[in-house]
Structure 1
Amino acid sequence: MTLTAEPVNSVATQEVSSEIFDRSDYLREYPHEQITFFQDPASGLKAIVAIHSTTLGPALGGTRFYPYADESSAVTDVLRLSRGMTYKAAVAGVDLGGGKAVIVGDPASLKSEELLSAYAKFVQTLGGRYITAGDVGTNSNDLDVMGRHTEFVVGRNTEAGGSGDSAPMTALGVFVSMRAAAQSHWGSASLAGKTVGVEGTGKVGYELIKLLVAEGATVLATDVYSPALDRVKADFPQVTVVGSVIDAELDVYAPCAMGATLSDVTARSITAEVVCGAANNQLTVPAVEQVLRDRGITWTPDYVANGGGLIQVAGELKGSSAAEVTAAVEKIFDTVAEIFTKAESDSILAGAAADAVAEARIAEAARRAANRGSAS
């Protein structure tokens, strides 16, 4: 097996091809500490690891295995996701930085033990600056394979020494965030009787539906992957399966699949009064949030709502008990409430309020590190 890695350091921004550093405002406006491209021709592996920040600790983020239309799309996605992880960790109060990885290809046809092993060996070469976990297209079984070749992996099955699938905790975080949004918007945290449209019924969407049904919500669900919908139909016969939820009559829209479903067009047409889901990067551009706000729609910043999985794997690194992790995830309710209160008091959007909370923690950590450096 031939292993090749091509690290790109942001210090060299002006000295490399414009196809890399000038191709995306995520590199110009949100510089990353390190971007590394991995390739293993024998297994078909093409992977990108983006480390956005290690100010708060080693960069942690899942590995997304996805059939991107082209490699440029993969780069854009990993840059957006890794920056989001920095803010997610800061808001969640965990001592971790932000990173993310993508493997380019269709996991249904390309995933193999050989490929996962090669990828894990690449992760190991980063020396702990990046710690991987699961994401779209990867699961705990895949992480078990990776764990045989790198120590820098979390979210493995409990039998392999990990904390297991993070989907239930991610869903719990979205659920309590939705309750906090309901409290802010309607004056009651109860979702009983509310119509919630869950877009994406994979690992997290399925667990969210379970919580919503138990709460007494009316649930509409959709997914492009029919086996995922079949599972929902079998386990939750009271759920209505529809072709699309974003344009259905809803109280709450819960995007739990891929991001960028809220554009200027959809933000002006949705009927939901609350938007809260697990998907990353739900807004096509930040300006969409203002469109939602102008229509009186309450949007919960995605990286706050979907932080439960990160809190779980951070707890795994610390040796926290399951009860301690659950309690920490449930506190996301208070974080969301704090963000809405700050947005109201400062007359800013919820996204800006969440960013301010995250940036304040990152700045404080950077200040302490600088003081330690000057003292030594």
Structure 2
Amino acid sequence: MFAAMRSDKMQALHLFSDEATGLEAIIAIHNTRLGPALGGCRYMPYTSTDVACADAMRLARGMSYKAALAGLDQGGGKAVIIRPPHVLDRSALFEAFGRCIESLRGGYITAMDSGTSSEDMDCIAQQTGHVTSTSQAGDPSPHTALGVLMGIKSAVRVKLGQEGLSGIRIMLQGLGNVGYALAEMLVAEGAELLVADLDAGKVRLAVDDLGAQAVATDAVFETPCDIFSPCGLGGVLAPASIAQLRCAAVAGAANNQLSNQDAADLLDARGILYAPDYVINAGGLLHVSLTHQGVASGDIAVRVRGIGTRLDEIFSQSLKEGRSPSYVADHQAETILYGG
């Protein structure tokens, strides 16, 4: 475990257990050079503690990079709770987790993530103030979607030489809270929208209400489009899927889109512009961080719109150096975090 921590330059790894509620939780803190670590809390049925620890560390590292390039005074952290087969009292479990967070004395601030809700954050908030994404803090999805919209506009400017999205054909994979909010924004901008989701009801809603065109989930990669926008699960950009892509750029909200770092080079070799996921989807982090600090929603939106400018800079440096945008973004984040 220590070797894995050194490999990711992980600062700390905390394991918590509470017999009364069945809580088994891990908090990974990657880097606090810029400020206290902030990151979501996942609640999933991990197959082992080792798998849960690896997931927490991988995600915490990504949060450090995301916060650094978003210009936030935050470090990167992540919490995972191993979901037990049977939960007698979910509220009590999350209250117990709140006590775990409080024991870190402000070193880690948690937020909503996969498997958790604002109601869960409300339970945590009964035991600690180091939590955001509560019912009172509001849904971060619209700000995440706004940042992705700005990133898509940046990619269209750089790759297609067009200001605005009128007539731009966008294949949107995933219609969750962020994906559907993004779909509404894209249609308002005049884009031609294609959508796919495992939930047929969400697809039908996008077709009926937004005039989108439905695409089968197993045909998303091979469908011709200007922009492929993954907004569902991570790891979708692997050698096999990249070989099928028929787009000019990839710009979407999903976390950890690349199956590995070689995938970024494969996209680059094919001439497909890639918007690094932790840069383009940072609107949610900006929302939870700045809301926690008491910043007004309108001022947060201004910061989120700056994601497009950051990507303009990354794309420009990428073209100048002949390196993938993923490499450029990593280098910029590491310079902020570690110096050099």
For residues 26 and 202 of structure 2, the distance between their equivalents in structure 1, rounded to whole angstroms, comes to 28
| Aligned 8 A contact 1:65 1:106 in 2 | no
- Matched-pair contact (CA < 8 Å) for 1:169–1:309: yes
The residue aligned with 2:221 is: 246
What's 1:261 paired with?
A: 236
Q: What is the aligned partner in structure 2 of residue 275 from structure 1?
A: 250
Q: Quick one: which of 277, 284, 288 aligns to 1:302? A: 277
Q: Displacement, 1:339?
A: 0.5
Instruction: Give TM-score, length-normalised by structure 2.
Output: 0.92
AA at the equivalent of 2:230: P
Is 1:315 aligned to 2:290, yes or no?
Answer: yes
Q: Tell me the equivalent position of 2:150.
A: 176
Matched residue, 2:119: 141
Give yes or no for the alignment of 1:46 onto 2:20: no
Q: Identity of counterpart residues, as a percentage?
A: 37
The alpha-carbon distance between structure 1 residues 239 and 44, as it changes in their structure 2 partners (threshold 3 A), is farther
Give the 3-state SS of the residue equivalent to 1:287 in structure 2: helix
What is the match of residue 182 of structure 2?
A: 208
Aligned length: 339
Please list, as runs of the form range in 1=range in 2, the aligned pairs for 1:64-83 lying within 5 A after superposition.
64-83=42-61
Q: What is the CA–CA distance in structure 2 between the aligned matches of 1:247 and 1:66, rounded to whole Å?
A: 31
CA apart distance, 1:155: 1.9
SS at match of 2:114: coil
TM-score (norm 1): 0.83
1:316 Cα deviation from its structure 2 partner: 1.7
Structure 2 residue 314 is the aligned partner of structure 1 residue 336: no
Moved more, 240-249 or 345-354: 240-249
> Which residue in 2 is equivalent to 1:21?
2
2:80 to 95, 102, 118: 102
Instruction: Note the C-alpha offset of 1:29.
Output: 2.0
Shift of 1:200: 2.1
CA distance in 2, matches of 1:200, 1:43: 34
- On the 8 A contact 1:220/1:242 being kept in 2, the answer is no
Is 1:87 the counterpart of 2:62 in the alignment? no
- Equivalent residue for 2:165? 191
Unmatched 5+ stretches in structure 2:
none
Mean alpha-carbon deviation: is it higher for 180-189 or for 52-61? 180-189
Distance 1:219 1:203 in 2: 17
In structure 2, relative to structure 1, the CA distance for the partners of 1:241 and 1:144 (3 Å cut) is: farther
How many Å apart are 1:215 and its aligned residue?
1.5
- TM-aligned CA deviation for residue 138 of structure 1: 1.8
Structure 1: any 5+ residue segments left out of the alignment?
1-19, 368-376
CA offsets per residue over residues 235-277 of structure 1, 9 Å max, x none? 4353425323233333222122221111122112211221111
Structure 1 residues 120-129 or 329-338, which shifts more?
120-129
Check whether the contact 1:123–1:130 (CA below 8 A) recurs between aligned residues.
yes
Q: Distance in 2 between matches of 1:69 and 1:209?
A: 34
Given that 1:198 and 1:219 are in contact with CA atoms closer than 8 Å, whether structure 2 keeps it comes out as yes
**Cα offset for 1:102?**
1.5
Aligned equivalents of 1:128 and 1:291: distance in 2? 41
RMSD (Å), alpha carbons: 2.3
Match of 1:8 in 2: none
* Partner SS, residue 328 of structure 1: helix
Aligned residues of 2:203 and 2:214 also touching (Cα < 8 A): no
The SS at the match of 2:261 is: coil
How far the C-alpha of 1:59 sits from its partner, in A, is 0.3
Question: Does the C-alpha gap of structure 1 residues 348 and 234 become closer, same or farther in structure 2, counting only changes over 3 Å?
Answer: same
State the 1:228 CA deviation. Answer: 4.8
Matched, 1:359 2:337: no
Shift of the 116–288 alpha-carbon distance from structure 1 to 2, 3 Å rule, reads same
Deviation at 1:233, TM superposition (A): 5.4
For residues 317 and 338 of structure 1, what CA distance do their matches in structure 2 show? 28
Instruction: Supply the distance in 2 between the matched residues of 1:114 and 1:230 (Cα, whole angstroms).
Output: 38
Paired with 1:338 and 1:31, the residues of 2 have a C-alpha distance of 26
CA contact (8 A) 1:107 1:137 kept: no
In 2, Cα distance between equivalents of 1:248 and 1:33: 43
Question: Contact 2:227/2:247 (CA < 8 Å) preserved in 1?
Answer: yes
Structure 1 residue ranges, 4+ long, deviating more than 6 angstroms after superposition: 106-111
Q: Deviations over 1:257-306 (max 9, x none)?
A: 22111112211221122111111111111011111011010000111001
Q: 2:253 is matched by which residue type in structure 1?
A: A
Give the aligned partner of residue 130 of structure 2.
152
1:325 counterpart (289, 300, 316): 300
